[in-house]
Amino acid sequence: MRFSIPRFWRERHSHYRLKAVKCRSCGRINYPPSNICRYCGSRDLEDIYLDNEYAKLITWTIIHTVPEGFEDKRPRIIGIVETMETHIRILAPITDILPEELKEGLILEPVLRRINEDKEAGLIHYGIAYRPVIKRIGG
């Protein structure tokens, strides 16, 4: 798969961060971000980032037939997660877990993961995925 280097550069922030916008007029959060509040039509918006928020798993699907170039990612788990502070629902890959370990309400954290690679252009494409929160010893 060939990526456009200029497009990749323009879109890099949307792939590496979970950006949303908060309306200063009505206080609602718009995800994915937009230039106009979906709820009240205001243009008075501020950027916020959701990539430090834990989330809970709402639902998921397991994909066994993957596109060319993604064979090493089979089976692919795609889930809907809800952030725990802002209550925003996000469609994202779920990683670092076996399909049989998935359960509703599982607590997840966002991580940056390699999505694909264009060896011809020398680009490695990263994106946000969610993984189970690992309880660390002593913390």
The pTM score is 0.81
Dihedral angle computed from the Cα positions of residues 129, 110, 96 and 79, in that order, rounded to the nearest 10 degrees: -50
Q: Is the peptide bond before 32 cis (omega within 30 degrees of 0)?
A: yes
Please report, for the chain, the start and end positions of each structural domain, with discontinuous segments joined by +: 5-18+51-132
Query: What's residue 24's pLDDT?
Result: 98
Q: Locate tokens 């010893």: which residue?
A: 137
Sheet holding 19-23, edge to edge: 29-30, 19-23, 45-49
DSSP state of 20: E
Query: What's residue 137's pLDDT?
Result: 53
Q: What token pair was written down for 16?
A: 């590496």
83 and 75 Cβ atoms separated by less than 8 Å: no
Query: What's residue 12's pLDDT?
Result: 62
91 and 58 Cβ atoms separated by less than 8 Å: no
CA-CA distance, 5 to 118, in Å (whole number)?
10
| pLDDT tens-digit profile, the chain (139 residues) | 455 667 666 666 666 789 999 999 999 999 999 999 999 999 999 999 998 999 999 999 999 998 877 787 789 999 999 999 999 999 999 999 999 999 999 999 999 988 777 777 777 778 899 999 976 555 4
Query: What's residue 59's pLDDT?
Result: 98
Q: What token pair was written down for 68?
A: 């060319």
DSSP 3-state assignment of 118?
strand
